[in-house]
Structure 1
Amino acid sequence: MVLCLAASTFAQAPASPVRTAEVEQREIAAHKPFVGTVMPIKHAVLGSAVDGRVIEFNYEEGDPIEDGAAVAQLLTNTIELQKEAAQAELAMRKAELAELENGTRTEEVQQMQARMLAAEAQVRYLKARRDRAVELYENRKVTSAEVRDEAVAASDGAEQSYLEAKAAYELAVAGPRIEQIARAKAQVAMQAAIVQELEDRIKKYTIRSRFTGFVVKKSTEVGAWATSGGAIAEVAQLDQVDLVANVPEQDIPYVQLGREVTVAVFAYPGRQFTGKVFSITPQADVRARTFPVKIRIKNEFDGEKPVLKAGMMGNVLLQTGERKTALLVPKDAVVLGGRSPMVFAVEKAPMGEGNVVKPVPVTLGVSEGGSIEVTGPLTPGMQVVTQGNERLRPGQTVNILSAPAGQAAGK
């Protein structure tokens, strides 16, 4: 907008060169700028789940980090030894289970069978000897009762030895009991759980990022003692960011989810970013009566560094009123400095050929891009001066220049 000098009463001046634009009529809505703060869409404080000494820290503040990458490592010597002992015990339990599941070895079965057959042969021999001793004692009276009793006892003992050998052979053929195998499986499962628990504990000694982003803060150093629940580092995801603006309650009904908006960040004058209204928090600040509105913006990168950084401030233009039909003129057409804003409208000269200008007082309304709403005695399609209006006087003759190449007239 330009300042207007007071109209003079000098003699008629030559036609002044100007450029013009048409008065437009279209639907617009009231908009307001709101100041917001750039925030990461994800921010996490990485903490330690266990106590331990920090022996590695792999990143510095500002470094990019991938999902699952190890930020820091705690000392694990003692628990590693416990894990090795538990793994050895597990291997032994698995070997015992495999031995039971495979059953008795063929060689052992054959050995038991041989013992049984030997015991059976011994039974036959001693039984025959017993029968002879009984015959000699009871019928012929040629031997003593002691000899007979000794032969009977030897025969009975051999009978029991045979039964024992036979039972051992049958057990070898049958193999282990189902209950023994089940117990061995339970011991393997229990030991495997112990190993898994130790492995999980070891994992807790490695602090990892759970998403891709940037390390924004270090909370410890190598050699420091980390406590359970204590902070190790902070990671923020910045491939997309949110501009969080607080909008008064009277304007919230007009803010539409998914609406594309323009964001201007103070750190980059003249540079604009495009975002969308991502969310409206349905809980107001009870003191300010404002609602946080998040504008989701796809970040840009300079190499590996994000252009938009957490904590930056910016403006977002949000709709704050109903849409209406209005007259709009380019902002450059408005002349300020007098009693009220005005524009110079172009009309045909009352006598002769050519164009003259007429000042038209207007009331300014909603701004939309390079145009502004005006209220006054204007009609759609009317030409207003956009360039060269600094020193115009009422009724002055003007020469309308054509628009520069590649630019629409009056734009």
Structure 2
Amino acid sequence: MPRELASQEALERARMQLDIARAGVDEAKQRLELLREGPRRETIEQARAELEAHRAAVATAERRLGYTRLKSPVSGIVEVRLAESGEVLAAGQPVLRIAELDAPWVRAYLPEPDLARVQLGQSAQVRVDGLPGQILDGTLSFIAAEAEFTPKTVETRELRVDLVYRVKIRLNDPQGRLKIGMPADVTLQPQTSSPRP
């Protein structure tokens, strides 16, 4: 190989390495300049926007996780499970029915003509089929705001076609003799005070 050709190739290689080195120097100068100037405003704003988007996603996930926890407003036992894990429910749809064992009550239906003669706090006597010969004391604790037709579970045919108001009678049962679903008869005691206006 002639010496001139070898020198020509060495020269070309050297020029190419020089160009690469110069490009490296230019790139290093640009990086140095960026470091001296600090990050670009657009980059900072983009990073801030991404941070806020991630924070919003975390807040949404935490809120949704909070919706998956069930908390009962009363102490008691689960009487009926109305939905299973993984089911999609409508807002306000019940998931469980809780029986309040510490505060037993009886649901009864008051005919519309008798509504004017009762008031909250009125005394009641309750006879439970499962406790023959015993009378439990109770207090009228709830009167529905809206009338309804008598439920089919009411035993007398005459009452099934009437408009009635659902009421709750809180019972005193310190011995815990009452069980959920026991049939009962309720007698409201006459009022000692004047009826409400």
Is residue 271 of structure 1 aligned with residue 141 of structure 2? no
How far has the Cα of 1:299 moved from its partner? 5.3
Matched positions, count:
154
Match of 2:107 among 235, 244, 247: 244
Q: 1:177 to 1:260 in 2, by over 3 A?
A: farther
* 2:48 maps to which of 185, 203, 221: 185
Cα distance in 2, alignment partners of residues 174 and 210 from structure 1: 58
* Cα distance in 2, alignment partners of residues 322 and 200 from structure 1: 51
**Quick check: which one's strand share is greater?**
1
Decide which structure has the larger Cα Rg and report it: 1
8 Å Cα contact 2:125-2:189 kept in structure 1? no
- Residues 352-367 of structure 1: matches in 2 within 5 Å? none
Aligned to 2:153: none
TM value normalised by structure 2: 0.54
Matched, 1:312 2:182: yes
Cα drift, residue 184 of structure 1: 0.9
Deviation for aligned residue 1:255? 0.8
Task: Give the distance between the partners of 1:171 and 1:216, measured in 2 at CA.
Answer: 68
Structure 1 distance, partners of 2:87, 2:31, is 60
Higher relative contact order (CA 8 A, sep 6+): 1
TM-score, structure 1 as length reference: 0.30
1:234 and 2:96 equivalent?
Answer: yes
Measure, in 1, the Cα distance between the counterparts of 2:94 and 2:140. 34
Which one has the bigger helix percentage? 2
> In the TM superposition, what whole-angstrom CA distance separates every residue of 1:8-43 from its partner, at most 9, and x where no partner exists?
xxxxxxxxxxxxxxxxxxxxxxxxxxxxxxxxxxxx
Matched, 1:294 2:195: no
Taking a change above 3 Å as real, the CA distance of residues 200 and 265 of structure 1, as seen in their structure-2 partners, is same
Amino acid paired to 1:316: V
User: Cα deviation per residue 1:359-381 (whole Å; 9 max; x = unaligned)?
Assistant: xxxxxxxxxxxxxxxxxxxxxxx
Contact 1:263 1:317 in 2 (8 A): yes
Q: 1:197 to 1:281 in 2, by over 3 A?
A: closer
Write the mapping of 1:87-102 to structure 2, written as runs, cut at 5 A: none
Counterpart-to-counterpart distance in 2, 1:278 and 1:317: 14
- Please name the residue that 2:38 is paired with: 175
Q: Describe the SS at the equivalent of 1:264.
A: strand
Q: Distance in 2 between matches of 1:299 and 1:189?
A: 57
Give the superposition deviation at 1:271.
3.5
> How large is the Cα RMSD of the aligned pairs?
4.3
Give 5+ residue unaligned stretches, structure 1: 1-160, 324-411
* Cα deviations by residue, 1:173-205 (Å, 9 ceiling, x for unpaired): 44224443232122123234445555666677x
In the aligned structure 2, how far is the partner of 1:183 from the partner of 1:247?
A: 66
Matches within 5 A, 1:252-267: 252-267=115-130
Structure 1: distance between partners of 2:123 and 2:190:
14
CA-CA distance at 1:273 after TM superposition: 3.1
Identity %: 29
| Structure-2 separation of matches of 1:232 and 1:292 | 20
Cα separation, 2, equivalents of 1:183 and 1:232: 44
Letter in 1 for 2:165: F
How far residue 300 of structure 1 moved from its aligned partner, in angstroms, is: 3.9
Cα 1:309–1:207 change in 2 (3 A) is farther
Residue 183 of structure 2 aligns to which amino acid in structure 1? M
Distance 1:255 1:265 in 2: 22
Q: CA deviation at 1:240?
A: 2.1
Per the alignment, do residues 252 and 209 of structure 1 end up closer, same or farther by CA in structure 2, a change over 3 Å counting?
same
Q: Which residue of 2 aligns with 1:38?
A: none
Q: For 2:124, what is the secondary structure of its paired residue?
A: strand
Relative to structure 1, the CA distance from residue 192 to residue 283 in structure 2 (aligned partners, 3 Å threshold; closer, same or farther) is closer
Alpha-carbon distance in structure 1 between the residues aligned to 2:116 and 2:66: 49
Residue pair 2:123, 2:189 contacting (<8 A) in 1 also: no
d(CA) in 1 for partners of 2:48, 2:39: 13
Quick one: structure 1 residues 271 and 175, their matched pair in 2 at CA, closer, same or farther if it must change by over 3 Å? farther
Look up the match of 1:217.
80
For residues 233 and 321 of structure 1, what CA distance do their matches in structure 2 show? 39
Equivalent-residue separation in structure 1 for 2:60 and 2:168 (angstroms): 42
Structure 1: distance between partners of 2:62 and 2:32: 44
